[in-house]
Each structure stands twice: as structure tokens, then as C-alpha cells.
């Protein structure tokens, strides 16, 4: 009899707990959350709740948590559920613990080191295969068993069967892509354009205008993905249109909320410093990169106007919508 497949989630935050619990309910795998938060580990193992992130949700008893890095040595699949800005340093520090055959799954949405995507950055420090998993996925919905979609992106098709097996007969639905770069970029770009949609909605609660901006945003995302080496068609996977529509149109989204705050005049440097705002970081990175590429025309992108919002002290927000409409 085969031992159950060992799956480890690095991190015990909302997304790791939610996906881990979905898999634990299959009662087929050995699922562990690897965490530095001792109170969370204790609450999961003793009371079957995540006291910090889901204090009112009963977790499946098969979901376990640990602080012991040695669990990585026997893990067959390792999900990276920690913030994008710490993933590379974490792997550098702890790579001696990793099973060399384990498949790494990047759940984080953001850049790695030196403006590279996270899989590109991981490849510089460890030899394990890396798969991207991105999609329209609020953790609160996942843990409540609402059907949720992800794109699994890998350069090698052979890993697709693995994830079909792992997530089969769960509330998580998958599509598949070989465009790892485009999948990663789509998950970063959607934060930028969610901010733009938020600013527009703060000024005008107009279905017509919103649809116009959404269409322009999708086309810009396709254009930028293509210029940075991804495939435009990736925007039609769950990681593209799906993740963008979730982030741009739902008030649970931090980046949409940032846009609403900016549009209403409530955004301050204090808020910026206290909240993790992936979109603000991403727009500065992308525009800086675009300015160094001769084949781009940054003045024709809505993204560039948002860059001005963040970086010009006396930017006139009253004209933001007119400015982005005049780009076409």
C-alpha cells in the first residue's frame, strides 16, 4: 500500500489554510502547514481552527501544522504561500531542507528579485521544478467551499496530471498553460488595473464607463504581457480575465479599495506605508522597465497615468479619467 502523498504549504496564512483545508477534506493526502507562527500552529493542531486568519471556521482534523522545517525533506509538493517579497530569501536560507524532487508551486502574486518573476528568481537559487498557480481566489470563498478556479502554469505538460489528481473531486477547478511568464505577469498586472478601475468608480458610478475601462485594461494587459515575453492568449485563462475581474470589481480587493481611496481623496502616505499594496509596487516596477525599452510608448498606457498619480506630488486627480480616455 502506498503512503499518502505528502504536501506541505509554506506559510499558515489565509490562502495556505484555505487550499490546505480543501485538500485535507479529501482524506487522501498528508497535508501540513509549515509556519513560524506558534500560536497558529497550536490552534490548528489542538482546536482545528486558524486562530489568526479563520477563527470562526472549523478546519478538517486531517489538516496539520508544524514549525519543523524537516517536513520539507519528504514533501512531494510544496506550495509557496508566503508574500512574494520574502520567498526568495526564504528559499535561499532553507534550501538544504527541500526535497530535491519536490514540485514547488508559487501562489504569491508579485515580483521576485531584480524585477524578475518569482519562478525566474527561484530558478537562480534552487533546481526544483516550479509551477505557477494563479486565479480569481479570495481565500474566504475557498474555505467556504465555493467553486474557485486557478490556472496551473508549467513549461512541462507532465505536471498537469499531478494537479488534476490532487485537486480532482474538490471545489477547485483548473485550466492549464505552458506560459509561465504570462501567467505570472497577468497576476501582477491585474493589481495595477484594479487600482485604475477603483479610481474611475470613485469618480463615476457608471456601468458604461466601467465597461469601457475594463476593455481597455484587458487590451493593455495583453499588450504588456506580449512585450515582456508572455502570450496574449493567457489573458483568457483563469489567471487573466478571471483574476482581473475579481480584483477590479470586488470591494474585498485591496487594490480596488486603494483606487477607491485615491479617487475619493482619502489616500495618504500613512495608508501606503501600513498596507501591502502590490499594485503600487508593480506600477513603479513596470513603468521603470518600460521606460528602458525602446519599443514601448508608455504615454499611451493607462498604467503610465497611474504612475503619475503615485509619483507626482501635485497630480490633479480631477482630470484622471479624462486623461486616460484621451490616450486612445
38 is catalytic: no
> Chunked in runs of 10, what are the mean pLDDT values of the chain (328 residues)?
87 97 96 97 97 96 98 98 93 97 94 86 96 97 97 97 97 98 95 94 96 96 93 97 97 90 77 59 78 67 90 90 90
Q: What is the pLDDT of residue 146?
A: 97
Q: Convert 106-120 to b/e letters by CB count within 10 Å (16 or more is b).
A: bbbbbbbbeebbbbb
Q: Which residue has the cell 489567471?
A: 239
The answer to whether the 6-178 and 181-325 domains have the same CATH topology is no
Q: Convert 251-272 to b/e letters by CB count within 10 Å (16 or more is b).
A: eebbbbbbbbbbbeeebeeeee
CA distances from 129 to 5, 123, 124, 284 (A): 17, 8, 12, 30
Residue 118 near residue 110 (C-beta atoms within 8 A)? yes
CATH superfamily of 6-178: NAD(P)-binding Rossmann-like Domain (3.40.50.720)
Residue 249: name the closest of 238, 260, 233, 261 by CA.
260
CA distances from 210 to 102, 197, 224, 304 (A): 43, 7, 21, 19
Residue 302: name the closest of 242, 225, 214 by CA.
214
Q: Where are the domains of the chain?
A: 6-178, 181-325
Q: What is the pLDDT of residue 280?
A: 74
Cβ of 140: how many Cβ atoms within 10 Å? 14
First to last CA, the chain: 63
Read off the C-alpha cell for 320: 484622471
Q: What is the pLDDT of residue 116?
A: 87
Residue 164: name the closest of 147, 179, 152 by CA.
152
Residue 189: name the closest of 228, 150, 139 by CA.
228
pLDDT digits (tens, 9 = 90+) for 188-198: 999 999 999 99
Q: In what order do the strands lie in the sheet with 148-153?
A: 63-66, 30-34, 6-10, 77-80, 103-106, 130-134, 148-153, 172-177
Q: Tell me how far apart the alpha carbons of residues 279 and 276 are, in angstroms, rounded to a whole number.
A: 9
Is CATH 1.10.1040.10 what the domain over 181-325 is classified as, yes or no?
A: yes
* Selected catalytic residue, list 109, 190, 227, 264: 190
**Which phi and psi angles does 228 have, rounded to 5°?**
-100, 15
pTM: predicted TM-score of the whole model, two decimal places: 0.93
Amino acid at each position: 500500500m502506498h503512503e499518502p502523498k505528502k504536501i506541505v504549504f509554506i506559510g499558515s496564512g489565509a490562502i495556505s489554510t484555505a487550499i490546505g483545508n480543501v485538500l485535507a477534506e479529501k482524506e487522501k493526502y498528508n497535508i501540513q502547514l509549515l509556519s513560524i507562527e506558534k500560536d497558529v500552529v497550536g490552534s490548528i493542531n489542538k482546536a482545528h481552527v486558524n486562530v489568526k486568519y479563520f477563527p470562526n471556521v472549523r478546519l478538517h482534523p486531517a489538516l496539520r501544522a508544524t514549525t519543523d522545517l524537516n517536513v520539507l525533506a519528504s514533501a512531494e509538493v510544496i506550495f509557496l504561500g508566503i508574500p512574494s517579497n520574502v520567498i526568495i530569501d526564504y528559499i535561499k536560507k532553507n534550501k538544504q531542507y527541500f526535497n530535491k524532487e519536490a514540485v514547488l508551486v508559487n501562489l504569491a502574486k508579485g515580483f521576485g528579485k531584480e524585477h524578475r518573476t518569482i519562478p525566474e528568481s527561484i530558478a537562480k537559487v534552487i533546481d526544483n521544478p516550479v509551477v505557477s498557480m494563479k486565479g480569481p481566489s479570495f481565500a474566504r470563498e475557498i474555505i467556504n467551499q465555493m467553486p474557485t478556479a486557478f490556472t496551473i502554469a508549467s513549461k512541462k505538460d507532465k505536471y498537469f496530471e499531478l494537479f488534476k489528481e490532487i485537486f480532482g473531486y474538490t471545489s477547485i477547478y483548473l485550466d492549464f498553460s505552458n506560459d509561465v511568464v504570462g501567467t505570472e505577469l497577468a497576476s501582477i498586472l491585474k493589481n495595477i488595473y484594479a487600482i485604475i478601475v477603483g479610481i474611475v468608480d470613485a469618480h463615476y458610478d457608471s456601468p458604461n464607463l466601467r465597461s469601457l475601462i475594463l476593455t481597455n485594461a484587458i487590451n493593455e494587459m495583453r499588450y504588456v504581457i506580449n512585450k515582456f515575453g508572455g502570450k496574449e492568449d493567457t489573458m483568457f485563462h483563469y489567471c487573466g480575465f478571471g483574476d482581473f475581474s475579481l480584483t477590479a470589481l470586488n470591494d474585498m480587493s485591496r487594490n480596488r479599495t486603494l483606487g477607491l481611496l485615491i479617487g475619493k481623496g482619502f489616500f495618504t502616505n500613512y495608508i501606503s506605508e501600513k498596507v501591502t499594496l502590490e499594485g503600487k509596487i508593480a506600477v513603479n516596477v513596470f513603468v521603470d522597465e518600460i521606460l528602458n525599452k525602446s519599443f514601448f510608448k508608455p504615454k499611451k498606457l493607462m498604467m503610465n497615468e497611474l504612475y503619475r498619480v503615485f509619483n507626482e506630488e501635485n497630480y490633479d486627480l480631477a482630470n484622471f479619467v479624462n486623461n486616460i480616455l484621451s490616450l486612445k
